[in-house]
Structures are given as C-alpha cells and as structure tokens.
A and B are shown apart, each in its own frame.
Chain A
Amino acid sequence: EDQVTQSPEALRLQEGESSSLNCSYTVSGLRGLFWYRQDPGKGPEFLFTLYSAGEEKEKERLKATLTKKESFLHITAPKPEDSATYLCAVQGGSGGYNKLIFGAGTRLAVHP
C-alpha cells in the first residue's frame, strides 16, 4: 500500500532560520512526488514536482530534493509569509494518472 509520512508535524522557526521538512514514502512504482502549500481555509497550492532520485527544484526560498525513499523541502532564510502547512504527495503506479496520496503535512510557523 502506498504511504507518505511527513516530519516534523509542526515546526516553529525564527525569521531567517533555515530548516528542512521531510517526506518519507513507500510506493509501488513512483510516477511523481509533489509538494504543495496550504494556507488555512484554502485548497493546496502547487509548488514542485519531482520525478526521479537526484532531481532538485527551486523556487525563491524553497528547494525540493528527492531520493529513492524520501524528499526534503529546504527553506532558506524563511520569512513570516512562508508560514503555512506544507503537504507532500506521491503518485504511484497502482493508481490512476491523477490519483495522489497525501502525507499529513508539516505546519510551519515563521516568527519575526
């Protein structure tokens, strides 16, 4: 059964304090791993797609990396506006093209 585990569950950072969020996964035939940002009371907002081990993608203060067992979302010098829940999801070979399995998310709070 495809499974996604994110850690930590919650993370509190000071503005400018860099850190990383972890997403561990088990999936039969990974088609893609996805990172989303979710603000309270909103739907997930797409950040990155990673397809193969060794791949990296960057967007502003965020960088996502992928290995065969996990993905990291690195946040460099975060700002208060980066506060949100970050969701990781995988698309496996057993599901349909658009079927994603989500982790529980990491709630990030960045304080000035």
Chain B
Amino acid sequence: GAVVSQHPSRVICKSGTSVKIECRSLDFQATTMFWYRQFPKKSLMLMATSNEGSKATYEQGVEKDKFLINHASLTLSTLTVTSAHPEDSSFYICSAGNAFGEGDSPLHFGNGTRLTVT
C-alpha cells in the first residue's frame, strides 16, 4: 500500500530557532500534500495545502511566514517552523494524495512529528 514517511518523529528545540520537518511519499507521486496540526485530544486541523511547483495554500489563521512550506518535487514536501515558540509545540502530521486519485483513501498519512519548543 501507499506509504508516507515523515521525519523526524520527535524534535526538541529552543525558543527562537527553526525546525524543518520532511514528508516523503515513498511509492507514489503526490502533486498535493497536506500539513495538519493536532493538539492533545483534539482533531487534526488542516494548516496548509502543499502544491508541487507552486506556492502553498494556507488555511485561515495560519501564519504563512511562520510555517514555511516547500514542495520541490512530486515526492517531497517540507514544513519549516520558523522562530519557534513554546506555543508552536504540537503534533504535526503530513499526508499525501495519490496523483491520480486512485484507491479507497484519498490520503495517506505520515506518522507525525512531535515538536517540543523549550
């Protein structure tokens, strides 16, 4: 089945530094990837849609200058949390859709990245 790899699984950084999270589709091409944020015991909140070769589309209330998204190829999207602060601590999950929309699930999810900003 389709596999999405997310790295790192956990990261701890100091306030003011930047952190990059990678999301790779391992066995299919993904023209679109999605970045979600999840707070404890809460649902997945869509942050942005990452489009290969073009600018990301951000959801209302998400700061595009803080959460930089790059989708340089059909198999890789990166999320960079810039000048991280403790309130950015969260569980970030990426997902990718099959380029041709095949299969029973429109999205395949990575295993998430637990970000802790101290």
Contact = CB atoms under 8 A, between A and B. Distances in A.
Interface residues of A, number: 24
A32 B49 CA distance: 19
Contacts, number: 60
Contact of B43 (A34, A99, A103): A103
Interface in B59-118: 91, 93, 95, 97, 101, 104-112, 114
B42 A104 contact: yes
B69 to A, nearest CB: 15
Size class of the B contact interface (CB-based, 8 Å): 20 to 34
A100 B32 CA distance: 13
Nearest to B44: A102
A97 B97 contact: yes
Contact of B46 (A34, A91, A99, A105): A99
A49 B46 contact: no
Given A98-B32, A103-B43, A42 B112 contact: yes
